Structure formats: structure tokens, C-alpha cells
Amino acid sequence: MQKRFIALTIVLLLLLGACSSKKEEAGAKEDVDSDEKVTLSAFGIKAPAATTDYDEMPFLKELADNVNVDIKWTTATTQTSTEQINLMFASDDLPDIFYSAWSLGGSDIVKYGSTGQLVALDDLIEEHAPNIKELFEKRPDLKKMITAPDGHIYALPQYDESKASKSNDAFFINKKWLDQLDLPIPTTTEEFHETLKAFKDNDMNENGKKDEIPFSFTFENQIRGPHSMSGAFGVVGRHIGVKDGNVYYAPAQPKYREYVKYMHDLYKDGLIDPEAFTHDVQVYDSKIKSSTPILGALFSWSNFSSFGKVDTDYVAIPPLKGPEGDQMWNANAGGLSMSGFSITSANKNPIRSIQWVDQMFDEETGIQVSLGPLGENIKKEDDGTITILEAPEGMSYEEFRHKTTPGSYGVYANLEETNDKVNKSPGQIEKEEYAEMYAPFQPEEIYPNVLYSVEDGDRLSILSTDIDNYMNETIPKFIINGDVDAQWDAYVKQLEKMGLAELLEIYQKYYDEFK
């Protein structure tokens, strides 16, 4: 009996020793003053236009050399990244760092932070990341956006703050056709209706065919959809909006019904493209760029994005004024990707890791992460401003930019004052002009970017998917068939049955906490 007791005691002591050794290993102090270069494994996603992997970019190697690290990259495409990331977390076979905007969803960040697979960055930022720390002191609102409900930061963002980022859509009308008919730019919903009738009744492109489409859009697309037009009837927000501190679902508001009735009047008169609710972005864009102009009015990001030039037959117009004098436009919370940089539980060198990414939150370095290195993609002028260099012949700007830097998938925080130092391209100038035109009509209250708890995030995903799918099926039917008054109450009741009240309750809770 005594021998068995002694043997059991020895086993327990060995187990305790092993656990103690593991804890010491996990908590071992990283020697950041060592001259020895450390190796980090990193998983990154490259932009669709990129022809270069991250391990082939001298700019990224220079940033790694600055903090004495060697980064072994696994570079994925946007098509394969989600499956790869899910597999890594499921198997717990993790890289030391994740690096790429748009790589993890908000619910993923919170979930894997709670399981310990993503490391809390708060203390690392406080002690070893002066640029990030300064950013958060300057912009506590940004820090609040990326802080998880448990009070920790598990991912650093990409944040691109500019005038253009505050407005997705722009409303265009064919100015050449207006001039042919000696018509002014419409300013009200009634005038717009009459203008579209004139486009329909005349051979505007002078080809002898009845191929004119007075008004087209892509209904479910945020940029190419007609969702800001509801502002003429006193309600904005394709989905979630805020008024007087109260969160609402725009497509369930009584004023939204008036917008739908107006859209039906346009459809009934043959003024809306019959394919506007079914065609995809590629088909829609091909209509915009048709060699023989066929569209009278449309929604898009900009002329430059549609045609590759600013000066075209189309001009962007202000929001229409509705029958009750309402004149509003949708607004964005800004260009933020919650995910960008995360340290995993596999990482034995978190200090070097945070020091590496902290460089990217320096203003000049952040510009280079976004636009490309100085001397290659951009040039610093004597007055301190930045000029974007032209792409070589035969290469698009996006290919040129993403050959040397992560670009649109990089990690940085370029604030408005930073972006103002960049000498804009014609397309950027065009878009900022539109943003300034729409700004006076945008609501002051906008639902912010926030992180939800795992439970609330999962619930919102289920509720919003069901509710939005039902809305996207039903509203087009109302516009086409015109029975909105008879069916509206049943539509709202179905939304309520699907959990609309619970959806709004969750959104309201986080909005109140954010304020």
C-alpha cells in the first residue's frame, strides 16, 4: 500500500513539474534586446490585382529588418483565404500572425479571442507600440470600435478615413440627353419622373431603335442600388439607421412604403430597367459602358470607376426633393476593416511582432503600405505632399500598386489629415466632390462599426440573414406589382415574426454602449 502511495506521489509530482514547465515556457520573457534575428510565420491575403506575393516585396522585408525579424509568409488569394483560415483555427495549427484587412469577420475576432487563439494586444500596445498608442490617444473612437465586448483588443484594423469613404453611392443622369431635350437637371421626384418619360419617348441615342433604358440600377448592391432615393421620402439607411438615438430598420418604416410606391409608379410607366432586380454587377456595368449609350439615369461609385475618365455624358446630381420636402442621402461610418493584424497563441515573439506592425501606423509608412513605396509608386514633393506616380504602360493602377505593397489589404490608419497630403488622382478628386455634395443631406446619427459578443454576433447573423433575404425578395415584388398598400401590414408582421424586434434590441444595446 505504501509503495503504491509513493508511486502515485511520484507520478503527480512529475505531472505538476510538466505543467509548471509548460507555464514557464508559455510565459517566458521575450528577449527583444537580443541581436539574434527571430523568425515569424505569417498568413496574408493579397489583393485580386496583385501579381506579387508578400515574401517578394522588398518594402515588407525592410520593415521586418528594422525590428530584426525574418517573416516566412503564406500568401493566399481572396478565393481561398476563408477556407484556409477556418481550417487553421479548427485544427489549432496557427501562424504566429495574421496580416490582412478583411481576413477575419468581427464575430471571428471575438470568438477566437475568447478561446485564447488570438492574443489580447492591449499591454503590448501600451508598452511596445508608440505609434498605435498615440493613434488611440488621438482617436479614442477608433479604439472603441475595435475593442471587443470583454474590453480587449484582439485585432488591429485597416482604417482609411477620407471624404470619399463617407458616401458609397452617387446618382448620375445623362446630361447629353437632357441637353438634347433642352431639359434642366431634375431636382424633385416629380421632375425626375417626367424626365425619365422624356428619355423613354425619344430616340435619345439616335440609332433608330427603341433601346433606351431610362433608369437602371442593381437593387441588392450598396453602391449601384437606388437606396439613397428613399431619402426623398424621409428615411435613409438600406438596413439599419438611427434617429434621435433610436435604431430602426429602414425597410419597415411607413415612409419607406411611400418610396416603394414611387418606385412602382416609375416601373409601371416602363421607366425602370426590367432587369434591375436580377442582373449582376457585370451585366449592369456593361450597360453603363455600352458603346451606344442606352441609360438615362443610374447609380454608381464615380464616372472614373465606370469609364476610366471623369468627363463623360453623365453628371452626378444632388438628392431629389420629395413631395413633403424631404431631401436626404445615405452615409457610411467610414472605411474600416476590423481585422488586419492579429497575434496568435502560437507566437513566441509577440513584442517583435507588435513592433513590426507598429511601424505601419507611422503616417509616412502607412501611406506607403496603402499606395506603395516612395520612389516606386509615390513621390514626396518639396512641400511635403505626396504625388501618386502613373502606372507603366500596359499595367493598371491596381496592378502597379499591389506589385510592391499590400495596398487595399494592408494594415494602417490613414486619417483624413493624412489623406489630405496626398495629391489626388482625377478619380479621387471626382469622388470627393460627390461626397461634399451629399454631405449636407446625410444624417448626423450613423450606426457605428462595433464588435459584438460571440452570442450576439451569432444571433445577429441568423436574424439579419433571414430578415434581409425576405426584404430583398419582397420589396422588388412591391415595386413591380404595385400592391404595397394591400400587402404592407402583412410584410411588416412577417418581419416581426422573423425576429425584427430582437434584431433591433441587440443593435440598440451596442449603440447605447458605444455612445
Q: Tell whether the model's pLDDT for residue 214 goes beyond 60.
A: yes
Q: What is the mean pLDDT of the chain?
A: 91
Confidence label for 2 from pLDDT (cuts 50, 70 and 90): very low
Amino acid at the residue 415? L
What letter would DSSP give residue 68?
T
pLDDT at residue 311 in the model: 92
pLDDT at residue 53 in the model: 95
Residue 325, classified by CB atoms within 10 Å of its CB into exposed (0-12), middle (13-18) or buried (19+), is: exposed
* Strand duo 246-249 + 240-243: pairing: antiparallel
Q: Tell whether the model's pLDDT for residue 11 goes beyond 60.
A: no
Neighbour tally for 157: CB within 10 Å: 21
Confidence label for 32 from pLDDT (cuts 50, 70 and 90): low
Round the CA-based radius of gyration of the chain to a whole number and report it: 27
User: How much is the average pLDDT of 272-278?
Assistant: 97
Distance CA 341, CA 349 (A): 15
pLDDT in tens, 401-429: 999 999 999 999 999 999 999 998 888 89
Q: Are 204 and 213 in contact, with CB atoms under 8 Å apart? A: no
Helix (H) or strand (E) holding 38: strand 38-45
CA atoms within 13 A on the CB side of 260: 27
φ, ψ of residue 24 in degrees (nearest 5): -65, -40
Q: Tell whether the model's pLDDT for residue 358 goes beyond 60.
A: yes
φ, ψ of residue 480 in degrees (nearest 5): -75, -45
DSSP string, 84-151: HHHHHHHHT---SEEE-TTSS-HHHHHHHHHTTSB---HHHHHHH-HHHHHHHHH-HHHHHHT--TTS
pLDDT at residue 3 in the model: 42
Distance CA 228, CA 235 (A): 9
Distance CA 40, CA 369 (A): 19
Q: If we measure between CA atoms, which residue out of 285, 260, 228 comes closest to residue 478?
A: 260
Confidence label for 168 from pLDDT (cuts 50, 70 and 90): confident
Lowest mean per-residue pLDDT among 244-258, 329-343, 476-490: 329-343
Chain centre to alpha carbon of residue 449? 10
User: How much is the average pLDDT of 191-211?
Assistant: 97
Lowest mean per-residue pLDDT among 26-30, 128-132, 336-340, 414-418: 26-30
What letter would DSSP give residue 278?
T
pLDDT in tens, 68-88: 999 999 999 988 999 999 999
Q: If we measure between CA atoms, which residue out of 376, 427, 429 comes closest to residue 401?
A: 376
The label of the residue with cell 451606344 reads 292
User: How much is the average pLDDT of 447-475?
Assistant: 95
Q: Tell whether the model's pLDDT for residue 14 goes beyond 60.
A: no
Confidence label for 34 from pLDDT (cuts 50, 70 and 90): low
Confidence label for 332 from pLDDT (cuts 50, 70 and 90): confident
What letter would DSSP give residue 209?
S
151, three cell numbers: 474590453
Q: If we measure between CA atoms, which residue out of 32, 115, 59 comes closest to residue 354?
A: 32
pLDDT at residue 91 in the model: 97
Distance CA 66, CA 359 (A): 9
CA atoms within 13 A on the CB side of 292: 11
pLDDT in tens, 102-111: 889 888 999 9
Q: Are 277 and 478 in contact, with CB atoms under 8 Å apart? A: no
Please give the domain boundaries of the chain with CATH numbers for all domains.
38-162+335-420 (3.40.190.10), 168-330+444-454 (3.40.190.10)
Q: What is the pTM of this model?
A: 0.83
What letter would DSSP give residue 321?
B
Distance CA 7, CA 57 (A): 58
Three-state DSSP at 496 gives helix
φ, ψ of residue 16 in degrees (nearest 5): -65, -40
Residue 163, classified by CB atoms within 10 Å of its CB into exposed (0-12), middle (13-18) or buried (19+), is: middle
